[in-house]
Amino acid sequence: MMFNAEDIVRDNIKNLKPYSSARDEFKGEASVFLDANENAFGSPLSTAYNRYPDPLQLELKTKLSGIKGLPPQNIFLGNGSDEAIDILFRVFCEPILDNVILCPPTYGMYEVSANINNVQVKKVNLLPSFDLDVEGILSAIDSHTKLLFICSPNNPSGNSFHQDDIELLIQKFAGIVVIDEAYINYSRKPSFIRYLTEYANVVVLQTFSKAWGLAALRLGMAFASEAIIGYMNKVKPPYNINQATQQLALEALDNIAWVNQRIVETVKERNQLMQAVQTLSITQSVYPSDSNFFLAKLMDAKYVYDQLVSKGIIVRDRSRVELCENCLRITVGTMDENQKLITELKQIA
C-alpha cells in the first residue's frame, strides 16, 4: 500500500504558512544580533539564557541521531511526548469529522488530547489477555480514521504486544500507526524504529521521562518519515524545547552507561517485587511486565490502596479501568522503597 502523509494531512496545515522566527530567518555566523528583541545585557542568572534557543534543536538531534540510528530529519522533539501526541491530532485530524482508534486500557492522554481537539474516539478494548484485538481494530477502521494509538509496552497493563499483530495493522491501515514506546528501554523487544524505512505510516514515540530519569525536563521524541516530521515542525510552537532542557539532555546523552545500569537494576527489582507480591494472600495474580511497573490483581484493591496511603505509600488505583478490576499499578522503586512496600503489604495480608 502506498502511503503519502500529504494525502491525509489536514488542508489548513498543508496550506499553513508557519511562523518564521528571527532564528529561522538568519542562521549564519554574525557578531551582533539585534534581530530578536532579546536582552543584550544578559540575565540575572550565571548561565546565559538571554538568547532564544535553536527552534529545531539541531545539536541535540544530531547526537540523538547517532544513538537511535536515523537522521535528524526523522526526529521531532516535543515538550514531553504529550506535546507530540497533541501535535499529531492537530496535523492529521479534522475536528468533528475524523476519528482515532484507542485500545483501552491504555495511556489516558490519547483520549484527553482527542477530546481537546474535538476528534472522535473509537475504542477497541484489548483482549482479556491484554493482547491487541486485531480483528476488532480492523473492523473499526473507516475512511475517517486517521490515527491508531498502540502503546507497547502498554500502560497500565505492562506487557508488550506481539510484533506480528502490530506489523499487520501497519500494513492494513491507511492512516498512521502511532507506537508509543515510553517503556521500551525496560523491554527485551526491539524498538519499531527499525520499521521506519519500510513503512511510511509509522510514528514511534519515546521519552526522556522514564528510563532516562528526566521527567522534569519535559522532553519527548517522535521518530517518523521526513514528511510527517516536517508537518509536525510546521505546527509546533517555535521554541518548544527550552535552552536548559536542550543543554541538560545533551549532557545526559553522554551518560548512557549510567542509564543502562539503572535499567538493569530496575528490571531486577521489578522481578523480585512481582515475585513477592505474587505470593501474598491478598493477591489474585500479577501480570507479566516489560516496563518499570506492573499490574497486580488483588482480592480487594480499594482496601489495599487505602491501607497503603495511610502508611504514606502511594500506588495507582486502576480498579475502575476496563479489564483492570481490583488492579493496582505499582511502579518499581529503589530497593529500600520496594522493601517498605512489601513490609506494609505483608501486614495487610
Ligand X SMILES: *Cc1c(COP(=O)(O)O)cnc(C)c1O
Q: Which is nearer to ligand X, 77 or 119 (CB)?
A: 77
Strands 99-102 and 75-78: what pairing? unpaired
CA distance 125 to 322: 8
Q: Which is nearer to ligand X, 9 or 315 (CB)?
A: 315
Least distance from ligand X to the Cβ atom of residue 189, Å: 15
Q: Which is nearer to ligand X, 209 or 245 (CB)?
A: 209
Q: Which is nearer to ligand X, 333 or 340 (CB)?
A: 333
Among 81, 145, 157, 289, binds ligand X (CB under 6 A): 81
Q: Is 247 helix (H, G, I), strand (E, B) or coil?
A: helix
Least distance from ligand X to the Cβ atom of residue 101, Å: 16
Residues 263-292 that bind ligand X (CB under 6 A): none
Among 152, 159, 185, 209, binds ligand X (CB under 6 A): 209
Q: Does 216 bind ligand X (CB under 6 A)?
A: no
Q: Which is nearer to ligand X, 8 or 151 (CB)?
A: 151
Residue 197, H or E segment: none
CA distance 303 to 125: 27
Give the chain's end-to-end CA distance (angstroms, integer).
55
Least distance from ligand X to the Cβ atom of residue 107, Å: 4
Cα torsion angle, 205, 90, 116, 169, sign: negative
Is there a contact between 54 and 22 (Cβ–Cβ < 8 Å)? no
Q: Name residue 105's beta-bridge partners.
A: none
Binding segment (CB under 6 A) for ligand X, from list 79-87, 140-148, 257-265, 298-306: 79-87
Strands 120-123 and 145-151: what pairing? unpaired
Among 89, 107, 173, 287, binds ligand X (CB under 6 A): 107
Q: Give the start-end residues of each E strand in 62-144.
A: 75-78, 99-102, 120-123
CA distance 40 to 43: 9
Please give the C-alpha separations between residue 308 and each of 32, 54, 136, 269, in angstroms, as whole numbers: 59, 46, 38, 20
Among 151, 241, 286, 328, binds ligand X (CB under 6 A): 151
Q: Which is nearer to ligand X, 9 or 328 (CB)?
A: 328
Q: Which is nearer to ligand X, 107 or 305 (CB)?
A: 107
Least distance from ligand X to the Cβ atom of residue 289, Å: 13
Q: Does 220 bind ligand X (CB under 6 A)?
A: yes
Among 1, 116, 215, 264, binds ligand X (CB under 6 A): 215
The backbone torsions φ and ψ at residue 295, rounded to the nearest 5 degrees and listed phi first, read: -105, 130
Binding site for ligand X (CB under 6 A): 80-82, 107, 151, 155, 180, 182, 207, 209-210, 215, 220
